[in-house]
């Protein structure tokens, strides 16, 4: 039996791992939320790691409020950077392999083709910078690690673009959505399955990987597909980033090249439209 510790069980990715747990009988999970395992508290982490011998730790914990991070710099750094370092140090001490979830926000969005893992990083805001600092701390601390950068994460759980669009469609007749930021939507359950595949294959090709669903679209395109699936009559207008200023700058282009993880794990990543349909149908159940 492979023992796995999962942080941030109340987040959307944490929920997805819980959903999948019963399908993976050879894996034994321990799920912790932020009050049960505070990654900013070294004593807290040590106490949890002392409860049993874990083979893997999947760190889903993060400060993800991109705009609020511009003001809450210390808190974002405490969770995304120092928290990641704390987890890595515990994994090193207890001989645990760390799988850490990171973000496309480590890039500045000035590329014109999908970002390779080796591409130069240049985050535009506090969220991206603290996540990148967390990546660097992990790589410096622990050899046995996988850092998986993902983008535009959504699911049936918590707050995300899919659920926000469906809520707005029930409240309004018309909305505007940004059409000049390009990326790849990622269904959190697809990401969770890939993480579990890394574990089940006992993969030791440690390092940084990119994972998102296939295809690149704008937020406007993403919203349009959601409304099409939901058969919503809402009027959707395409707007520009300059029409909707936010405290934190977003990468204008953040498509991730996923060929490395596809080759390493020998997987075929589903198209974003196909996964969106599954996520929506799960919401309707």
Q: Is the dihedral of CA 112, 114, 117, 122 positive or negative?
A: positive
Report the distance separating Cα 55 and Cα 112, nearest Å.
39
Given 56, 63, 115, 127, the catalytic residue: 127
Length of the chain: 285
Structure tokens at 182: 């390009």
Token pair in block for residue 263: 């080759």
CB-based burial of residue 190 (10 Å sphere; 0-12 exposed, 13-18 middle, 19+ buried)?
Answer: buried
In the structure encoding, which two tokens stand for residue 17, read together? 């791992």
- Respond yes or no: is residue 127 known to be catalytic: yes
How many CB atoms within 10 Å of residue 193? 16
Three-state secondary-structure class, residue 187: strand
Q: Where are the beta strands (DSSP E) in the chain?
A: 2-6, 27-31, 56-59, 97-103, 145-150, 153-154, 174-178, 182-183, 186-187, 207-210, 217-218, 235-239
**Rounded to the nearest 10 degrees, what angle do helices 272-284 and 219-230 cross at?**
40
Cα–Cα separations (whole angstroms), residue 59 to 73, 77, 166: 21, 16, 29
Tell me the catalytic residues.
127
């Amino acid at each position: 039996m492979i023992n796995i510790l999962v942080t941030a069980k109340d987040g959307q990715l944490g929920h997805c791992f819980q959903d999948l747990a019963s399908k993976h009988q050879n894996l034994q999970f321990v799920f912790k939320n932020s009050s049960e395992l505070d990654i900013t508290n070294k004593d807290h982490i040590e106490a949890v790691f002392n409860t049993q011998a874990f083979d893997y730790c999947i760190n889903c914990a993060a400060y993800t409020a991109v705009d609020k991070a511009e003001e809450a710099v210390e808190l974002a750094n405490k969770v995304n950077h120092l928290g990641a370092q704390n987890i890595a140090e515990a994994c090193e001490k207890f001989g645990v392999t760390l799988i850490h979830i990171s973000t496309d926000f480590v890039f500045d969005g000035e590329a014109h083709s999908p970002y390779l893992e080796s591409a130069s990083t240049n985050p535009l805001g506090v969220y991206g910078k603290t996540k990148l600092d967390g990546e660097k701390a992990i790589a410096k601390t622990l050899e046995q690690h996988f850092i998986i950068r993902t983008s535009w994460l959504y699911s049936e759980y918590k707050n995300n673009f899919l659920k926000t669009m469906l809520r707005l469609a029930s409240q309004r007749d018309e909305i505007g959505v940004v059409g000049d930021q390009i990326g790849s939507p990622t269904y959190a359950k697809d990401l969770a399955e890939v993480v579990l595949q890394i574990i089940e294959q006992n993969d030791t090709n440690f390092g940084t990987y990119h994972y998102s669903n296939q295809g690149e679209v704008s937020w406007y395109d993403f919203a349009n597909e959601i409304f099409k699936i939901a058969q919503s009559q809402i009027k959707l207008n395409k707007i520009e980033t300059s029409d909707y200023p936010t405290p934190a700058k977003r990468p204008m282009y953040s498509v991730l090249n996923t060929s490395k993880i596809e080759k390493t794990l020998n997987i075929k990543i589903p198209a974003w439209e196909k996964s969106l349909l599954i996520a929506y149908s799960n919401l309707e159940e």
